[in-house]
Amino acid sequence: IPYWGYGARIFPFANERPDRFSMRVVDIGSVDVAIHIRALWRGTYRGSRIHDFLVERASIHYEDPVPFQIGGDAAGERSTLNVSLYPKAVRVADFYAPPSLDPALDPS
């Protein structure tokens, strides 16, 4: 799913490959977010401080433990996080699919 709540396309490349998940590494401050909020929301922002990867697995390491959540629920702190793609497809309900960015694909 390439978007978060209210249709924000946080992972614009999420549907590129079914055998990978989208990992986005961002190093921008709040001023840049404010300046580029529309492009960030649409998933069209590109810059030297935002990096997109399509990966099977990743290991993320922090100097100090950081708060961790599972499905928005607090799950303690972690200094290492290992994530991987589940080997089988999982069907999910998509109750809100935002409109397509491509006007040719928009049925309205």
pLDDT in tens, 63-84: 999 999 988 899 999 999 999 9
Locus of tokens 């099977």: 56
Question: Is 45 found in the same domain as 11?
Answer: yes
Would you say the pTM of this structure is higher than 0.85? no
- Residue at 94 is within a domain: no
Question: Is 30 found in the same domain as 62?
Answer: no
Here the tokens at position 77 are: 């702190």
Here the tokens at position 8 are: 């924000």
Question: Is 36 found in the same domain as 1?
Answer: yes
Question: Is 74 found in the same domain as 41?
Answer: no
In this structure, what are the phi and psi dihedrals at residue 58, rounded to the nearest 5 degrees? -150, 150
pLDDT in tens, 19-71: 999 999 999 999 999 999 999 999 899 999 999 999 999 999 999 999 999 88
Question: Is 67 found in the same domain as 51?
Answer: no
- Amino acid 57: pLDDT: 96
* CA–centroid distance for 17 within its chain: 14
Q: Which residues pair with 83 in a beta bridge?
A: 58
- Amino acid 22: pLDDT: 92
Print the domain residue range for 71. Answer: 57-88
Domain count, the chain: 2
> How far is it, in rounded angstroms, from Cα 37 to Cα 41?
6
> How far is it, in rounded angstroms, from Cα 108 to Cα 105?
9
- Residue at 64 is within a domain: yes
Question: Is 15 found in the same domain as 5?
Answer: yes
